[in-house]
Structure 1
Amino acid sequence: MVKQVFETHTVTIEKLDKKGSGMGAVWRDTGENNPRKLKLNVPQTLVGEEAKVTVSNPNRKKARALPDEIVKASPERIEPACPHFELCGGCVWQHWSYGNQLQYKTEEVKRFLSRHGFDTGVVKDAIGADSPWEYRNKMEFTFGRDGSLGMHELGNFRKVIDLDTCLIAGNEMVEAMLEVSEWQKEFNLSGYDKDAHTGLLRNLMVRQSQKTDELMLAVFATKSPDGELEEAVDNLIGRITEKFDNVKGLMWMENREWADMAQSEKTHTLYGRDYINDEMYGYKYRIWFDTFFQTNPVQAEKLVDLAIDMADAKKDERMIDLFCGVGTFSLPFASRVKELAGIEIVETSIESAKRNAADNGIDNTFFLAKDARRGMDEVLETWGTPDLLMLDPPRSGAGGKVMRRIGRLQTDRVVYVSCNPESFADDITWLREFGYELEQVQPVDLFPHTVHVEVVSVLRRIEK
């Protein structure tokens, strides 16, 4: 058996990495007149701080270690509000004042744009949340193989922190999670072991509308809810419906797949319906367990406001909403244009978008379940060149082929909403050769205490 070696070092944090952890380096004295550089990744630290860390097996080029002690603290450091912060992997920046988080996110957007030669003067200061707490309308909790229920431990995806609170989720969502945790322990139901592929309970998803207050729970398990589980499941139904009079749906999702994802092979509706009603920007939406819907609805409405303002849409214009999802932007824009085409490759999202449009009495939209380029080609055949295009692609971005196709459309304006400023900067670079100029960029913080930041921007085609 190889004996583990430990070394303690004091490291100065020089910058933050993509995940929000501090980075620095030390020179190790190997006793051979040949000091070696050890790069260190230190979560929960800030630039300029000095941290004492203990490194296992230090004879390598890189290592990751939590701080044993903050020797020199940044003036921007604050006391984390959550008792689970040091272990939980849900938040990364509760130790950093919120105003400084926003400044950093603004600078990150500028950094990615400047890398491609864009004028960073068009970037405004990030818009922060009215409250950086209790902002999420959806949480996915994990059952641990030791009977815990909560979030994954920081840096250890195989261990689950047994939570008794979560400050970024609504109080009632946390209460629902705790009720399920008590139920699991009362009936001694096993948590899933992802290594052995054994155990019953895998995930708990809780969704709650901040507008309608409707609550939905989905338990993901490796067996069906009948037979030997019937008594336990009946008890779960009773205790959830008794405690939460606003629960509209309780589902049991069978998931026997190896992949560690909250997915369902077969859905059992134990109580109520399989969706909740939500509202955003004055429009009604039906939300299923797997519906992509902005998880911070208050900030999401600011995104819609900004997109509408930047687009300057007119009643005689035709518009494409690319990567439209369930119609988060499509519905508010539809009342401002002559006609709107929504394009999305996920068929269930398109069906939801159609239903949401009908529920809101909107009749000037049509939605296509196609990939982005084929969808744009079909719209072009129907309309000719649209006047306005907006896109809200996944984190990976739209990609060069899609962006070049957008450029060839030659719409007057392109509104780009992004959840990843790096892929955003990469994408819009393609539009330069088609005569587009970046006019405005507005970062918006939808996820306080994390590294993520949204961007709303507008590019205009310049006549030559």
Structure 2
Amino acid sequence: MVNEIGETLVTEIRQLDKKGSGQAVVWRENELGNPKKLKLTIPQTLPGEKVRVTVDQPDRRRRKAIAEEILEANPERMDPPCPHFDLCGGCVWQHWQYTGQLKQKTNHVKQAIESQGFDPNLVRDTIGMDDPWHYRNKMEFTFAKDGSLGLHEQGNFRKIIELETCLIAGKEMVEAAMEIANWVKSHQLKGYDKDAHEGLLRHLMVRQSFVTGEMMLALFATEAPTGHLESAINDLVVRVEEKFPQVKSLLWLENTQWADRTQSEKNHILAGRDFIYDEMVGYRYRLWFDTFFQTNPTQAQKLVEIALEMGQPKKTEKMIDLFCGVGTFSLPFASQVAKLAGIEIVETSIESAKRNAQDNGISNTYFLAKDARKGIDEVLESFGNPELLLLDPPRSGAGGKVMRRIGRSQPERIVYVSCNPDTFATDIKELEPFGYTLKAVQPVDLFPNTVHVECCALLVRNEG
């Protein structure tokens, strides 16, 4: 049916794309009567659902459409519990029962490795959470131009959805964020205008250890917390200290750069210290505002335990931890090997890793601030070939050059921790010519109600 808005169609969701939106195909006739394929992207739909949509410009090959009515629902569909779900870009699968999400994530990993010729039966079922809510220990909120605090609207980087709650963040973190939002309103402070490049407040970072309870509140602003801001800052400190004694780090971070990132040119400690303590698998870590640390500590601990189980570290062995960060995997492994070398390009992370090792009484580690490929060469020269190598690269993967360098170093066992099944699959393909066999892949859900899935895999060098 054609109307003023476009053409109304009924279609079935075949699969989901990498952003979690439904994908459908409609065959139509063109002006010559020949069949023409129209690919539709329909957010907030699930596989197998029959939906009615109205498509503007249906003569195009690809269009995005909104489901006007779910005619036949997936049996795993549920009412999303968050009042912001329809607009907020924080999580996209709140309308899907958790068991369905986990099956989808397992299938994603299977499809990724099968596309590279590996046996999908090597992939185990994804390990989920008992409670897939309030799991994040770090959130970055953004201030709108009027000073309201929230998250970006889905698909619209310029618009901020003012939040009443957030169901994936720790509960105390949300309470603290709402108090900051009230403080901003009471002092009529302005947010940053990305277009005009003016205004005061840009972001609020909240992070909290679920073990120690310590919390950090970090405000990113375009000015120093002095002069006309002094009265408001004093009020902020009083509010936080009275209502949130668990806040051990209250920071004001100056950022005048145009890039919309949580970065700082000058740091001001308003109360407490400039870091908080966290713990994982019995080891203590110092976390600064820019420290990368797993944002789901419950599942991250499981990931570390799986890596240890797969890697089987021995007291007689040497080990390399590539992309080691602040030592999340380094410290638990170091206590079970003869010596460990960690390589990471971010110098502040390496300094943190050294300090964390010292804080935990670990003395058999060597940490090097260098890019992965050059770092491997330097470590191998002084360290020798390791029996065990672990890598935990960014979403873009390690890349062919790094993987081939790993292959040439011939460790007996390789543990690959990945946050992107697709780059993981292409990376491990590079190891086959060097005599490595994929033994097992264990997906772990660190981000419930989103499309992301982590996995831990073991590759073993063939004998002879």
Q: Residue by residue, what CA displacement relative to the aligned partner does 1:223-247 show, whole Å, maximum 9, x if unpaired? A: 2111121111221111111110111
**How far off its partner does 1:274 sit?**
0.8
Check whether the contact 2:255–2:263 (CA below 8 A) recurs between aligned residues. yes
Report what 1:43 is aligned to: 43
Q: CA RMSD in A?
A: 1.5
Report what 2:385 is aligned to: 385
Distance 2:384 2:167 in 1: 50
Report what 1:314 is aligned to: 314
Check whether the contact 1:5–1:58 (CA below 8 A) recurs between aligned residues. no
Report what 2:222 is aligned to: 222
1:295-306 to 2 correspondences below 5 Å: 295-306=295-306
Distance 1:69 1:230 in 2: 53
**How far off its partner does 1:65 sit?**
2.8
Distance 1:182 1:53 in 2: 40
Q: Secondary structure at the match of 1:102?
A: helix
| Range moving further from structure 2, 215-224 or 33-42 | 33-42
**Cα gap change, 1:408 to 1:182, in 2 (>3 Å):** same
Report what 2:453 is aligned to: 453
Check whether the contact 2:315–2:338 (CA below 8 A) recurs between aligned residues. yes
Q: Secondary structure at the match of 2:350?
A: helix
Report what 2:138 is aligned to: 138
Report what 2:129 is aligned to: 129
Check whether the contact 1:27–1:35 (CA below 8 A) recurs between aligned residues. yes
| Range moving further from structure 2, 47-56 or 235-244 | 47-56
Q: Secondary structure at the match of 1:306?
A: helix
Report what 2:157 is aligned to: 157
**How far off its partner does 1:100 sit?**
1.1
**How far off its partner does 1:456 sit?**
0.5
User: Is the counterpart of residue 376 in structure 1 residue 376 in structure 2?
Assistant: yes
**Cα gap change, 1:116 to 1:32, in 2 (>3 Å):** closer
Q: Which amino acid aligns with 2:333?
A: F
Report what 2:363 is aligned to: 363
**Cα gap change, 1:70 to 1:362, in 2 (>3 Å):** same
User: Is the counterpart of residue 210 in structure 1 residue 210 in structure 2?
Assistant: yes
Report what 1:60 is aligned to: 60
1:240-389 to 2 correspondences below 5 Å: 240-389=240-389
User: Is the counterpart of residue 406 in structure 1 residue 406 in structure 2?
Assistant: yes
Q: Secondary structure at the match of 2:220?
A: strand
Q: Secondary structure at the match of 1:305?
A: helix
**Cα gap change, 1:236 to 1:28, in 2 (>3 Å):** farther
**How far off its partner does 1:6 sit?**
4.0
Check whether the contact 2:147–2:201 (CA below 8 A) recurs between aligned residues. no
1:81-230 to 2 correspondences below 5 Å: 81-230=81-230
Report what 2:433 is aligned to: 433
Q: Which amino acid aligns with 1:343?
A: I
Q: Tell me the TM-score normalized by structure 1.
A: 0.96
Q: Secondary structure at the match of 1:8?
A: strand
Q: Which amino acid aligns with 2:436?
A: Y
The count of corresponding residues between Structure 1 and Structure 2 is: 461
Q: Tell me the TM-score normalized by structure 2.
A: 0.96
Check whether the contact 2:5–2:54 (CA below 8 A) recurs between aligned residues. no
Unaligned runs of 5+ in 2: none
**How far off its partner does 1:34 sit?**
6.2
Check whether the contact 1:220–1:254 (CA below 8 A) recurs between aligned residues. yes
Q: Which amino acid aligns with 2:256?
A: R
**How far off its partner does 1:82 sit?**
1.1
Check whether the contact 1:85–1:91 (CA below 8 A) recurs between aligned residues. yes
Distance 1:66 1:143 in 2: 28
Distance 1:45 1:53 in 2: 11
**How far off its partner does 1:35 sit?**
6.8
**Cα gap change, 1:49 to 1:197, in 2 (>3 Å):** same
**How far off its partner does 1:378 sit?**
1.8
